[in-house]
Amino acid sequence: MPDRVTLHQLQHGEAPVPRRLLASWQRSEEYGVPQDTVEPVFTGTDDLGSFFFECGNEVLVELHRTLANEPVSMMLTDSDGVVLSRLSGDHSLLQALDDVHLAPGFAYSEREVGTNGLGLALADRAPTLVRADQHYALNLCTFTCAAVPVLDPTSGRLEGSVNLTTWSRSSSELLLALARSAASNTMALMLARSTGRRPRQTPRGQVFRVEVPRLEPGSGTVHELSDSWNAGVAQAERAMASGHIVAAIGEPGAGRSTLLAQAARHTYPRDRILSASAPAPTDVQTWLGLWTPELGKDHTAVIVRDVDMLPTWVAEQLRDLVMRSGGTTAVPFAVTAERFEDIPTALAGLVDTVIPVAPLRDRPDDVLPLAAHIARRARGRDVVISPPASRALQNYGWPGNVDQLSRVVSHSASRTDVIDVAGLPPEVLAGSSRHLSRIETFERGEIVRVLSSYGAPTMADAARELGMSRATLYRKISQYGIHLPREG
């Protein structure tokens, strides 16, 4: 085996290694990971019923059939680096992996065992190959590992990784390509089975923008909102006024960045608000390059959206850009994420105040004021929303939160002067019901439309228009959980 590469050699350029690997070694040292051995934590495999595991395992089983006689171990891990499954036809390789606990149920994150293929792939959210003595722990140097992160194609959330491990003496030229292919096939299978939902994409043209002092960026001003929303804005204002770093936590589209922007505009009325979202992997270097000149300007506040989507090394560079050497922030700084525990450690340690932002389904009193505001913005003037349409909007669960409400109302307002149930999509008319087939969704929507219309004052009239008996209509109303009052 070649001589052991040391951290000193890596830091001083004496070993030809990628910058990402050097950063990982430095983090491993800071975590206090021992170099002589690995002692991963056994947590068990709790995610074997997940959608990701179902699709990923199917892909790896098929790959295993073609590589059954090769000295390669194929694994799935969750987003925390816990090994969920392992396949290999090489018994000596399996025994060696058991010796270092690279086995189902054990956590192999970078924080647990130092630099390794799957740990670094998850930390940086990038395809990774770690060869032989590039591993931080000595007893992993007999292996070469290739790992590729897997993102949920509909939400963009990190689900886990595909990891292929072989002996360090074996050729690794195709290992990363195979791991890429398996991860890609897993995401494609997840998308194909995800009932036609579209994958989350980074919004082009809105990844990085500067808002000059004016009304809240991207939102306008809506003051007639629920007490929970206004309390969140007030809490963020107080924290910002005290110089605290704030994290708004909640579902995508719930208004996390809008809440922070409103609070920042009230707290720093003269400041520019620099608002950035996590970039696509190909845009990372350009994205980081935009920060330096902007952060040097006076009266600037910063909001970074979706920091849970940032690779670890990007989060570390961002931290270094916004923090002074004395440990204070160079500018007012706030972030958003879906869950606090998914914020990279480099940024999570800076957060002083965490503000939960409730999803729109838990803020029904906000639906109509927001809908009126969105319609006014789309048409440039007030737009009437009929009582039946208002009830349908309030009764819907809005899984896409305010973003979905904005799309629905903007589309309707662009076509008519009065938003009525006829202009709303079937899924909104289907209310908060779950697990309906397309036919059931359409049927429920038709019942809601007819019951909400002014032309069906009685149940008999509604049943006649729908082509069913009154008894059947009453049964359908109960079955679909319809609670809309009729217009008398």
| In a shared domain, residues 332 and 378 | no
The alpha carbon of 423 is separated from its chain's Cα centroid by a whole number of angstroms, namely 31
Question: Of 465, 486, 466, nearest to 476 (Cα)?
Answer: 466
Q: Which domain-ending residue is among 192, 220, 239?
A: 192
Question: Of 441, 444, 363, nearest to 401 (Cα)?
Answer: 363
- Work out the burial of residue 458: count CB atoms within 10 Å of its CB; fewer than 13 is exposed, 13-18 middle, 19 or more buried: exposed
DSSP 229-269: HHHHHHHHHHHHHTT--EEEESSTTSSHHHHHHHHHHHH-T
Q: Hey, what are 213's tokens?
A: 């002092």
Contacts of 119 (CB under 8 A, 6+ apart): 24, 81, 108, 109, 110, 111, 112, 113
Compute the residue count for the chain: 488
Task: Note whether residue 201 is domain-resident.
Answer: no
Give the number of domains in the chain.
3
In this structure, are residues 213 and 269 in contact, taking their beta carbons and an 8 Å threshold? Answer: yes
Which residue, chain included where needed, has tokens 């006014």? 376
Which DSSP category does 341 fall into?
Answer: G
pLDDT at 93: 95
Task: Note whether residue 106 is domain-resident.
Answer: yes
What are 245-260's pLDDT values in tens digits? 999 999 988 889 889 9
Task: Give the alpha-carbon dihedral of 50, 55, 56, 62, to 10 degrees.
Answer: 140
Which DSSP category does 485 fall into?
Answer: P
pLDDT at 41: 81
| In a shared domain, residues 214 and 183 | no
Question: CA separation (Å) from 151 to 35, 156, 184, 250, 277?
Answer: 31, 5, 10, 19, 17
Helix or strand run (H / E) with residue 91:
helix 91-99
d(CA 469, CA 481): 18
In this structure, are residues 294 and 321 in contact, taking their beta carbons and an 8 Å threshold? Answer: no
Parallel, antiparallel, or unpaired: how do β-strands 384-385 and 272-277 relate?
unpaired
Question: Of 420, 413, 403, nearest to 380 (Cα)?
Answer: 413
| In a shared domain, residues 221 and 178 | no
| In a shared domain, residues 332 and 371 | no
| In a shared domain, residues 354 and 375 | no
Low-confidence ranges of the chain (pLDDT < 50): 1-3, 12, 197-208, 211-220, 433-434, 456, 486-488
In this structure, are residues 7 and 25 in contact, taking their beta carbons and an 8 Å threshold? Answer: yes
3-state secondary structure 215-227: CCCCCCCCCCCCH
Answer yes or no: pTM beyond 0.75: no
Q: Hey, what are 281's tokens?
A: 């992997």
Which DSSP category does 47 fall into?
Answer: -
Identify the sign of the CA torsion 127, 129, 134, 138.
Answer: positive
| In a shared domain, residues 373 and 340 | no
Q: Which domain-ending residue is among 166, 192, 218?
A: 192
Task: Note whether residue 2 is domain-resident.
Answer: no
Task: Note whether residue 488 is domain-resident.
Answer: no
Task: Note whether residue 202 is domain-resident.
Answer: no
Looking up residue 238, the CATH number of its domain turns out to be 3.40.50.300
Its domain, for residue 315, covers: 208-358
Q: Which domain-ending residue is among 322, 340, 358?
A: 358
Helix (H, G, I), strand (E, B) or coil at 134: helix
| In a shared domain, residues 449 and 407 | yes
DSSP 183-215: HHHHHHHHHHTSTTPPPP---TT-SEEEE-SSS
The alpha carbon of 353 is separated from its chain's Cα centroid by a whole number of angstroms, namely 21
| In a shared domain, residues 178 and 62 | yes
| In a shared domain, residues 367 and 445 | yes
Looking up residue 119, the CATH number of its domain turns out to be 3.30.450.40
| In a shared domain, residues 17 and 147 | yes
Task: Note whether residue 79 is domain-resident.
Answer: yes
| In a shared domain, residues 186 and 216 | no
d(CA 261, CA 175): 45
d(CA 290, CA 311): 17
d(CA 469, CA 81): 57
Task: Give the alpha-carbon dihedral of 6, 7, 13, 19, to 10 degrees.
Answer: 120
Helix (H, G, I), strand (E, B) or coil at 87: strand
d(CA 277, CA 217): 14
Task: Note whether residue 200 is domain-resident.
Answer: no
Q: Residues of 345-369 as b/e, b for ≥16 C-beta within 10 angstroms?
A: ebbbebbebebebbbbeebeebbbe
Task: Note whether residue 168 is domain-resident.
Answer: yes
d(CA 126, CA 164): 15
- Work out the burial of residue 6: count CB atoms within 10 Å of its CB; fewer than 13 is exposed, 13-18 middle, 19 or more buried: middle
Question: Of 360, 372, 452, 438, nearest to 403 (Cα)?
Answer: 360
| In a shared domain, residues 23 and 123 | yes
Phi, psi of 144 (to 5 degrees): -120, 130
Contacts of 441 (CB under 8 A, 6+ apart): 426, 427, 430, 433
